[in-house]
Structure 1
Amino acid sequence: MARVEQRSKHSFARARLVFPDGTSRVTIERDPIPLYVERGMGSYLFDVDGRRFLDLSANFTTLIHGHAFAPVVEALTRQLQRGSCFANPTESEIELAELLCGRIPQVDRVRFVNTGTEAVLFGIKAARAFTGRSKIAKLEGAYHGAYDWAEVSLAATPDNWGDPTAPKSTAFYRGMPASVLDEVVVLRFNDIEGARRLLSLHADKLAAVVMDPMPSRGGLIAPKPEFVVAVQETARKNGILVIADEILNLRQSFRGASARYGLVPDLVTMGKIIGGGLPIGAVGGREDVMKVFEASAGRPLLPQGGTFSANTLSMTAGLAAMRHLDHAAFEYLELLGNIVRDGIGRAISNRCAPLCVTGAASLFRIHPMAQIPNDYREAHPVLAGATLMRQLTRFFAENGIILPYGAAASISTSMTRTEAEFVVDVFAGFLDGHQDMLEALEART
């Protein structure tokens, strides 16, 4: 293994001289060093040391068609020969906006940005501009990007998350302003009565409730229909906007995740798959709410710009990718997702292992606990569980599969049934070879 990883080790040594910890973003996994990628093709990654991996990360669920998807490559090649970015608008941004407005319910108008973080940032700002209120509510443990208010209680732990009926607003980083914590109401996912009570209690100051229909870092757990109704009804009654964060979960169906789970949002944040592998974000929603961005009559209620917002490369790649995400593509992704989740579930059941699997459509996540959790707190692993999941990720890598740690794994249209079954087989092999760790976990849960 030392010989095989020689180039990766050399790359990491170079990286440590220019990056604070040798990496360019906190989400880079290392065991003990990062895997440096040379190229990607279809469902596979090839690292600088010549190894091949089935990629279940797909750049954090972005690459729904896999790597180097031919229609995207061809469209980008044509566009690069005509220019990469302009200060003026292009017809490509209109075409992608038309596709999103025509497909995603409640999206009457769209503004493009460059990242999911920006999409949520401007979604929250739009809600504030529309309502004249400043507070927001969000789900404990849910990830919505690197905006201070969206980061509150992202990494809450048993040591600081507070009362189960009134979760505490916890800081994500040292020095986060106390004023930010005071302006965020934290809800527990699937806590029906808690959502009604807390939203009502703070109603006069709440601009919006930000809700990922199935939070990945919160456990990739399905919402209870009653919870969706509780949030929606209480918000409507009190003039609170509902922001559906579908940056990750838009891939759950042709019309997105909100449509799948009965959520009717006022604003929708989008990203990842709508960019075809290039940087992108978007906020869309009701026409009256989106009017806060209008500048035709002077300074808008909410100014929004960006040098690379709606850049023609992201628009071109996104349009090519989204046009190939038709109903048949989503049915295929659902089929493969069911093969993986059902197969993992059978492997667990046949061995009475203290594990479970969650997710939907083309997403899945394995948990080190016997019962499917209801929310972030229940999904929070004990030490033995976290250790086992690290070993699971390592075992998958040793068998040629990239399995994200503590986040959603994703399936792409470039995968086949054979590859889906291979994922199940590797998981079953892990269970068979780690009985001691499974017994230790069961004894502690």
Structure 2
Amino acid sequence: MTIERNPVPLYIERGMGSYLFDVDGRRFLDLNGNFTTLIHGHAFAPVVAALTHQLQRGSCFANPTESEIELAGLLCGRIPQVDRVRFVNTGTEAVLFAIKAARAFTGRSKIAKLEGSYHGAYDWAEVSLAATPDSWGDPTAPNSTAFYRGMPASVLNEVVVLRFNDAEGARQLLSLHGHTLSAVIVDPMPSRGGLIAPKPEFIAAVQETARKNGILVIADEVLNLRQGFRGASARYGLVPDLVTMGKIIGGGLPIGAIGGREDVMKVFDASAGPPLLPQGGTFSANPLSIVAGLAAMRHLDHAALERLETFGNIIRDGISRAISHRRAPLCVTGAASLFRVHPMAQPPNEYREAYPGPPAAALMKQLTHFFAENGIILPYGAAASISTPMTRTDAHFIVDVFAGFLDSHQDILDRMELRR
């Protein structure tokens, strides 16, 4: 079976559980999950039931609903440091308003962010998202690089770039720019940055220096909230002032949320006059996204997350054993229900180490293509995710297909000059 993904994409006819079916009738185990959104897979029955019921009652209103309060209460009850919640339509909007909230609270305009870390399509959040060896500059003071042609120079001047897991560098740069920084935004495990675990000393350096300088810490958990019942920040010891959420909290429909400390969230408060930060949107907190998200999150209990972690461990351990057995110059990173394969023998510590040269990037594209030919959708250059409908058999199938890739590409692996 030959599958051309570039320039011709797969056109999907339907999804059911952990599988996708394309218009040609082919079935694929889905490790993309609409970019990690579908933690319960496709057509999850409780979500379908909630949406069916809500559609019969109306799709959107200009007024709040009780279900909006229920989902907000669920998130506040689960996620530490989340005292209040504002709903928006996407993760991009959640980050946008979290940054604006930090500016409104501190009266400062600049932000700091991690090199290579994705936070949606907001100019300031996109700085150094796609930095390359030709542009990223000094390791002790990374350049602020433009993501697209025409990005204003003023935006670049308002973003301080940190390197993930560089504790001393973060401490120095946050201290140097502390009097102008409103916030530092941190993804606890950046997907595009390598899906690498944060070092405790890095988390401590960011947190301690931010507190000392009056800088708010924004945890971007739009993707990584799925790492545990209380999210990823709690897993890695990060204590943020604001948290951005999305993806899994919408049950497969568009959603975003900003949560955080009550005093910081008061910048949105319009009860006593104009707020410090106005925020609204035609479809923000629309009842379809809210009821779908409420159904999904209610079924994402401790047992479901423990099962996902177990299967994630089976996949990561199985891939590692296949690599070790064949002495292939590859490795796997990730946690909980997420994993990512790297074309290097040792796990990277940060974005620059994870950045693949042309031969390595070509190999990863071949890996994605091989998986598709064998009935699995594997994202390229980002996190692969598993979902609750997946089985132990599915987990072993993923490992078997990866081992098959190593066996069929052994000659290429032997010839390539990958980092060992």
Length-normalised TM-score, structure 1: 0.93
The separation in 2 between residues aligned to 1:47 and 1:182, in whole angstroms, is: 46
Q: CA deviation at 1:250?
A: 0.1
User: In the alignment, which residue of structure 2 is the partner of 1:226?
Assistant: 201
Structure 1 partner of 2:170: 195
Q: Distance in 2 between matches of 1:443 and 1:409?
A: 22
Which one of 264, 275, 279 corresponds to residue 239 of structure 2? 264
How many angstroms apart in 2 are the aligned matches of 1:365 and 1:296? 46
Deviation string 1:164-217 (CA, Å, 9 cap, x unpaired) is 111000000000000000000000000010000000000000000000000000
Matched residue, 1:207: 182
User: Which residues in structure 2 correspond to 1:15-414 (within 5 Å)?
Assistant: 30-414=5-389
Equivalent pair of 2:189/2:197 in contact (CA under 8 Å)? yes
Q: Secondary structure at the match of 1:200?
A: helix
SS at match of 1:71: helix
What is the deviation of 1:430?
0.3
Secondary structure (helix, strand or coil) at the match of 2:145 reads coil
Structure-1 separation of matches of 2:367 and 2:26: 19
Q: Which string of whole-angstrom CA distances, capped at 9 and with x for unpartnered residues, describes residues 254-291 of structure 1?
A: 00000000000000000000000000000000000000
Residues 443, 358 of structure 1: CA spacing in aligned structure 2 closer, same or farther, 3 A cutoff?
Answer: closer
Q: CA deviation at 1:66?
A: 0.3
What is the distance in 1 between the residues matched to 2:47 and 2:275?
35
Distance 1:150 1:70 in 2: 36
- Give the Cα–Cα distance (whole angstroms) in 2 for the partners of residues 414 and 151 of structure 1: 34
C-alpha displacement at 1:332, in angstroms? 0.2
Structure 2: distance between partners of 1:439 and 1:175: 42
Distance 1:291 1:164 in 2: 38
Unpaired stretches in structure 1, ≥5 consecutive residues: 10-29
Partner SS for 2:173: helix
CA distance in 1 between partners of 2:322 and 2:37 (Å): 28
Mark the runs of 5 or more structure 2 residues left unpaired by the alignment. Answer: none
Residue of structure 1 in register with 2:398 after alignment: 423
Tell whether the 8 Å contact from 1:354 to 1:441 is kept in structure 2 after alignment.
Answer: no
CA distance, structure 2, for counterparts of residue 264 and residue 444 of structure 1: 35
8 Å contact from structure 1 (residues 55, 403) kept in 2: yes
User: Does structure 2 retain, via aligned residues, the 8 Å contact 1:384–1:440?
Assistant: no
Name the CA shift for 1:343/1:76 in 2 (closer, same or farther; >3 Å). Answer: same
Residue 21 of structure 1 corresponds to: none
Q: 1:132, 1:207 within 8 Å by CA — same for their partners in 2?
A: yes
Aligned residue identity for 2:333: T
How far, CA to CA, are the matches of 2:141 and 2:413 in structure 1?
34
Task: Measure the CA separation in 2 of the matches of 1:383 and 1:349.
Answer: 24
Q: Would you say the 8 A contact 2:329–2:419 is kept in 1?
A: no
Q: Cα–Cα, structure 1 residues 443 and 327, in superposed 2: closer, same or farther, change >3 Å?
A: closer
Q: Is the 8 A contact 1:253 1:330 kept in 2?
A: yes
Letter of the aligned partner of 1:435 in structure 2? Q
Q: State the superposition RMSD in angstroms.
A: 1.0
Contact 2:360 2:418 in 1 (8 A): no
Question: How many Å apart are 1:31 and its aligned residue?
Answer: 2.7
Task: Indicate if the aligned counterparts of 1:354 and 1:369 stay in contact, CA closer than 8 A.
Answer: yes
The offset of 1:441, in angstroms, is 2.4
Write the letter of the residue equivalent to 1:382: G
Alpha-carbon distance in 1 for matches of 2:334, 2:56: 41
Query: 8 Å contact 2:344–2:418 — kept in the other structure?
Result: no
Contact between 1:125 and 1:302, CA under 8 Å: does it hold in 2? Answer: yes
CA distance in 1, matches of 2:331, 2:417: 13
1:58 Cα deviation from its structure 2 partner: 0.2
Q: Secondary structure at the match of 2:179?
A: helix
Matched position secondary structure for 1:133: coil
SS of match in other structure, 2:416: helix
Deviates more, 1:128-137 or 1:430-439: 430-439
CA offsets 1:34-77 (integer angstroms, 9 cap, x no match): 00101000000000111100000000000000000000000110
1:434-445 matches, cutoff 5 A? 434-442=409-417
In 1, the alpha carbon distance for the partners of 2:104 and 2:368 equals 44
Whether the 8 Å contact between 1:31 and 1:394 is mirrored in structure 2 is no
Residue 436 of structure 1 deviates from its aligned partner by: 1.8
Aligned partners of 2:350, 2:236: CA distance in 1, in Å?
Answer: 16
Q: Which residue of 2 aligns with 1:24?
A: none
Q: Secondary structure at the match of 2:128?
A: coil
Number of corresponding residues: 420
Shift in Å, 1:32: 3.5
